[in-house]
Amino acid sequence: MFNTMSQKNVYNQEAIDKLKDLVNEIDVCMFCSAIDKGSLHTVPMSRQEVDDEGAIWFLLSAESDTCKNVMQDPAVQLLYAQVNDYNFVTVKGTASVSRDQERIDKYWNRFVEAWFEKGKEDPNIRVMKVTVDEAHYWDTKDSKFVTFLKLAASAVTGAKTDKGREGDIVIP
């Protein structure tokens, strides 16, 4: 019995579109910083935007360990998982932090407000941009239920089934 996943690397605009679709659908990632210190610092973070160049944007506090780690070492890894549909993305990137008030205003909403009690003017709000260095995705062509049925049929018949797609996301 062979259960395979088709290989489909995506490039340029198709890569940006794929990254946007998956990250926007999944939203929250496990954000890993302090990559080279032997012990990862990992926290859940919600993206604010995947921009037209494929960069992923976040809001965070200057007082957070994540911000402090990124200021010392900008290498980060983002792990996205949508288990219900078997969609996954891993992103290795380079983070940069700023106090861009225009972006803070753009991303401000009630959810963000809950994290920053002093409002948009809180001096600790920071904007973090993750520039993608490399990324890989896994996604299914079908819903979880249909995928399960295909796997079950494959187990019974021994026939090969295509479980979905995986590939590199290559952004220029």
**Structural domain total, the chain:** 1
Query: Cα-atom radius of gyration of the chain, to the nearest Å?
Result: 18
Rounded distance, CA 144 to CA 115, Å?
Answer: 34
Structural tokens at position 69: 């780690």
Question: Which residue type occupies 152?
Answer: A
CA distances from 87 to 40, 55, 69, 171 (A): 23, 20, 28, 19
CA distances to 7, 27, 92, 134, 153 from 158, in Å:
21, 37, 37, 36, 8
Domain extent at residue 135: 3-170
The CATH number that applies at residue 98 is 2.30.110.10
| Percent of the chain at pLDDT exceeding 70 | 84
Tokens of 38: 């032997």
What are the two backbone dihedrals, phi and then psi, of residue 14, each rounded to the nearest 5 degrees? -60, -35
The owner of tokens 């990250």 is 23
Tokens for 58? 């976040």
pLDDT score of 158 more than 80? no
Each residue's pLDDT tens digit, 136-146: 999 986 545 44
Q: How far is Cα 82 from Cα 161, in angstroms, rounded to an integer?
A: 21
Q: What is the pLDDT of residues 77-91, one digit of tens each?
A: 999 999 888 899 999
Rounded Cα distance between 156 and 94, Å, is 46
pLDDT tens digits, residue range 89-110? 999 999 999 999 999 999 999 9
| pLDDT, average across residues 102-127 | 94
